[in-house]
Every structure is written in structure tokens, then in C-alpha cells.
Amino acid sequence: MRPLFALFLASLTALAAEPARPPNVVILFVDDMGYADIGPFGNKTLRTPHLDRFAAEGMRFTSFYATPVCSMSRACLLTGCYSARVSMPGVLFPPNRIGLHPDEGDAGRGGQIPWL
């Protein structure tokens, strides 16, 4: 009888809990932008009211390490690997037939990415 009562209490708790909402995530991936080029990070010259509101209402990440080449930064973001592990030699354009190692591919594309 006790296990049945415990199951009943657990089901009541599950009914009372709010359903989990998926997180709202916005990634701003910009080429040739410095750390303090927008309002939330200290720029007083350029007006970025929408980004200011995002920063005030949400969370700011301050430790993403960019690389000199945007293709490598994109590969790091997609795979979660450090730039030394991704080993992109330069910018990848659509006709290039090289890309990430098959083991490092974007999970959504199933392996080798000919270009990013």
C-alpha cells in the first residue's frame, strides 16, 4: 500500500509542476567586431537599444575566444572544440572540398562539412 501511496503523491507533484520551457538562446555571430563595439559592453557612441535590452534582461557571455579567421570561429562554435583542434587553414569558400574531420562534423549534417 505504501508504494501505491508514494506513486500517488509523486503524480500529484508532477501535475503541480510547471512544464519546462525551452530556453531562449540568441547567438550574435559577427565578423570584424570588437568586444566593446556595442552598448552592453561599454560603447557610448553607437546606439544599440535592442542589444542593451537583451543584455539587461538576460545573460551575457564574456569568454568566447574568437580566431582571426571566421571559418575557424564558426567551426569552433559548431563543434565545441578549441581552434587548435579544429585546424582550419584559412577561410573556406563554397567550392572548397575540404572541411572538418568527419568525427568533428555538425551533428545536424551527419559528418563531413564541405564548407561552413
- Using one digit for the tens of pLDDT, what is the confidence trace for 93-112? 666 666 655 565 555 554 44
In which residue are the cell numbers 559548431 written? 78
Q: What pLDDT shows up at residue 113?
A: 46
Residue 1: predicted pLDDT: 65
How confident is the model at residue 86, as a pLDDT? Answer: 77
Output the pTM of the full model.
Answer: 0.50
**pLDDT at res. 15:** 64
Span 40-72, pLDDT tens digits: 888 889 888 998 998 898 887 777 667 777 788
From the number of C-beta atoms within 10 Å of its C-beta (0-12, 13-18, 19+), residue 15 rates as exposed
Q: How far apart are CA 42 and CA 35, in angstroms?
A: 9
pLDDT at position 96 is: 63
Residue-level pLDDT at 99: 62
